[in-house]
Chain A
Amino acid sequence: MRRQGLARYFRSGAIWGFIVLELIFFTVAGAFLSNSDTGFLDPGNMLLLLKQSAPLGIIALGMTVVMINGNIDLSVGAIFALCAVVMLDSMNWPILAGLGDWAIPFAWGLALLTGMGLGLVNGLIVWKTGVDAFIVTLGAMLGFRGLVFMYNGEQPTYHLNWTMVDIAEAGIFGLQTPVLVFAACILGVWLLMNKTVHGRNAYPVGDNREAAVNAGIRVGPHMVWNYVLIGFLTALSSITFYSASGSVNPNDGMLYELWIITAVVLGGTKLSGGRGSVIATVGGIIAIQLMRKGLGFIGADTAMVNLVIGSILVLVLFLDRQLNRKSKQDLRI
C-alpha cells in the first residue's frame, strides 16, 4: 500500500524534484566552472530558458493529449516545418503581398489551417483504417517532409516583415510573446483536460478502448479531434517561432518528435495511454531545456547534452519500473 502511494508520489512529483536538483547542481557547478559573469539563476537567463522552451513545449502539450489517448504522433516535426513554409511563402503571394501588414493574420490563419488539416488527415486514417498510430504517423512523417521539399526544393523559404518580428518579440514584464503563447496554451489544454467532457473522455479511451466504446464514447471522432488539436498546436508553435526568424529551412523540425516524446515521458505520461498530466509535461520540457542550458553553462558541448539526456531517459524508465512494478504489463506497447 505504502509502496503504491510512494509510486504515485514519484510519478506526480518527481519531475519537479528533478528540476530543483538541476537548478541547485548547475548553480553550484556554474559558480566554479562557468566563465559567465552572472549566475545560472540570473532572471534574464531563466526568462530566456522559458522562451526557448516554448516551441517544443507548445507541441508537447498536444502530444500529451494524444499519448493519453494511447496514440502517438511522429509527424509533428514535419508539420512544424510545413506550417512555417506555408506561412512565410503565402506572404509572398501577390494576393497577400498587396495587403501590407494585413497579410499577417491571413498568413497565420493559413498556417493554422494547414496544421489542423494535416492533423485531420492523420486522425482520420487512424480512425477509419484502424492502422496503428505509430505506423500512420511514421508514414506521415516521411510524407509531410516530402511535401515540404516539394514545395520549395532544398531552398530556404523566407519573408521578412518587421511588424511580424515586432509582434513576435514584444512582451510584458519581460515575458516575451512565445512565453505568453506557451502560458495561454498550458491554461487552455489544462482546462480542456480537466474541465470538459472531451478531456475526461481522453483517459478511458487510452486506458481501455473497448470499454470506452461500450460506455458510449465516440472513440473515433474523439481521437480525430485530438489529432486536429496537436496539428493546431504545432502550427501555433511554428507561427510563434518563425514570425521572429522569418526564414525556414526544409530540414527544420527534424527529430523534434523525439525530443517531445522524451519530455512527455519524463513527465510521467504512459506510452500505452490512460495516464498523464499536462502540467507534468511542462515540467518535462523545462527539465530537458534546463539540462541543455545548464550543461552549456558549465562548458559541456552538445555531445554531452545528448549523452546525458539519453541516459536520464533510460534511468527514469528503470526507476519507474522499480517503484511501480505493478505496471509491468502496462509498459508494453
Chain B
Amino acid sequence: MADVSASDGTALRSVGAFLGRHGIVVAFGLFMIGFALTNERFIDMDNILGVIRSSTILGVMALGVTFVVISGNLDLSVGSMMSFSTIVVLDLHERIGPELAIPLMFAMTMSLGALIGFLVGYLRLNSLIVTLGMLSAIHGLTLTYSGGQNMDIADQQATWFSVFGQGRVLGIPVPILMFVLLAVVLATLLAKTPFGRKVYAVGGNDVAATFSGIPRARVVFMTYIISSFCVATAGLIQASRSMGSQNTVGQGMELEVLAAVILGGASLMGGAGTVFKTVIGVLILGFIQNGLLLLGLEFYVQYVVTWIIIILAVWLDIAVKRGRLWSPIA
C-alpha cells in the first residue's frame, strides 16, 4: 500500500519536473493542436510563414535580451535603440548608400550597447535604472538626429536595400532566414562555448563566478554588445521592410520583448533560460495573436491573453520549483 502511494508520488513528481522543464514546449504544442483543430486556415503554410515573418523583429531582439537576462540583468532600452538604428540606417542610406550605411549603423548602435555594457558591467550600476535612463536618452538622441522628421527612402526602385525585409530565398522570406541563422549562432554560443557557460555562471551567482576567476564585468559587457547587435539587425529588417519610418517605431517593444523572454522560461534572477525557449516564447506570442484573429476576436484581446499566459507560465514554473501551488507567504 505504502509502496503504491510512494511510487504514485514519484510519478507525480517526475511529471511535475518534466512539466517544469519543458512546460512551455508542451503548452505550445497543445496550443497549436487546439488552434489547428478549430480552424483549418491556421495550419496553412502561408499563414505559418506569415506569422513567423511578422514575429522576426520582436524575435531577433528577444535573442539578444535572452543573454542579458540570463546574466542577471535587464535591457529596457532595446525599443528606443531599435528606433534609433532604423532611423539612422534610413538616413545614412540616403546620404552614402546602403553598402556603407549598414556597417556604420551597426557600429553606432553597438557603441550605444557598449556604453550600457560599460555602465552595468564595469561600473556595476543597476541595469534596470541604467537602461531606463538610456531608453529616454536614446529616444532623445533619435529625435535630435532626425530633427523629429520621419525618414523615407526616396527612390525605392533604385536600391537593393529592401532585400532584408522583403526578399525571398528559395521561397523563404529573408527576415526568417536571418532570424533562424542568428538563433542558431547564438544558441551555439550560449550552449556550446565557454563564454556561454560564463553567462550562466554570472547570472546564477556573480560572487561565486567572480571567485572562480570569471571576469564578470567583461561577460556582462559582452551580453550588452550581443543585445545591441541583435537590435541593429532588427532595425535593419524594420527599415528594409517599410523603407521608411517614424521616430517611435520601436516604442514599447522593450516590454514585449521581455515578455517573450520570460515566457520562454528565462528567470529575471538570472542563470536560467535558453535561446531555443526564447524562440518558442516569441512564436507563442505571434501565434496567439494570429490564432485569436482567425477566431474572429479583436486584435487587442491578444494583450489580455498574453497577460494571463505570462503569469500562468511563470507561476507554473515557480510552483513546480517550490513544490506547492500557492505562495507560502502569510
Judged by a CB distance under 8 angstroms, whether A132 is at the interface is yes
Q: Which residues does chain A contribute within 8 Å of B135, judged by CB atoms?
A: 258, 310
CA distance A261 to B328 in the complex (A): 29
List A contacts of B130 (CB < 8 A): 314, 317
A272-311 toward B: CB 8 Å interface, digit per residue (1/0)? 0000000000000000000000000000011111111111
B330 interface hit (Cβ, 8 Å): yes
Give the complex CA separation of A321 and B307 in angstroms: 35
Question: Contacts A147-B304, A311-B137 hold; do A142 and B255 have CB atoms under 8 A apart?
Answer: yes
Q: How far is the CB of B284 from chain A (nearest CB, A)?
A: 14
Asked if residues B136 and A318 are in contact (CB atoms below 8 Å), the reply is no
Interface-facing stretch out of B23-31, B168-176, B183-191, B309-317 = B309-317
**What range describes how many residues of A lie at the interface?**
35 or more
Assess the B314–A143 pair: CB atoms within 8 A. Answer: no
Which of B56-64, B152-160, B256-264 forms contacts with chain A? Answer: B256-264
Query: 6 A-B contacts, Cβ less than 8 Å apart?
Result: A134-B268, A220-B327, A304-B140, A307-B137, A307-B144, A310-B136
Chain B residues bordering chain A, tally (CB within 8 A): 54
- CB < 8 Å neighbour of A258 from B125, B132, B302: B132
Given A127-B329, A135-B311, A138-B259, A314 and B125 contact (CB-CB distance below 8 Å): yes
Tell me which residues across on chain B come within 8 A of A321, comparing CB atoms. Answer: 123-125
Complex: A307 Cα to B302 Cα, angstroms: 33
| Residue of B124, B137, B326 with most partner-chain A CB within 10 A | B137
In the A-B complex, list the 6 residue pairs whose CB atoms are closest, starting with the nearest: A143-B307, A146-B303, A310-B137, A130-B327, A306-B140, A307-B140
Q: Does B119 contact A (CB under 8 A)?
A: yes
A residues near B, CB below 8 A?
74, 125, 127-132, 134-136, 138-147, 149-150, 153, 209, 213, 218-220, 254-255, 258, 261-262, 265, 271, 301-314, 317-318, 321, 328, 331-333
**Are B255 and A125 neighbours in the complex by a CB distance under 8 Å?**
no
B302 touches A146 (CB 8 A): yes
Task: Give A136 to B300 CA distance when docked, in angstroms.
Answer: 19
> Roughly how many angstroms separate A331 CA and B127 CA in the complex, as a whole number?
9
Say yes or no for B100: interface residue by CB 8 A criterion: no
**In the complex, what residues of B have CB within 8 A of residue A305's CB?**
140
- B143 near A303 with CB under 8 A, answer yes
Bound complex: CA A332 to CA B142 (Å): 30
The answer to whether A149 and B311 touch across the interface, beta carbons within 8 angstroms, is no
Complex Cα gap A271–B126 (Å)? 9
CA of A331 to CA of B73 in the docked complex: distance in angstroms?
Answer: 12
**Chain A CB within 10 Å, residue with most, of B129, B142, B258, B311:** B129
- A143-B303, A150-B304, A218-B330 as given contacts; A311 in contact with B133, CB under 8 Å: yes
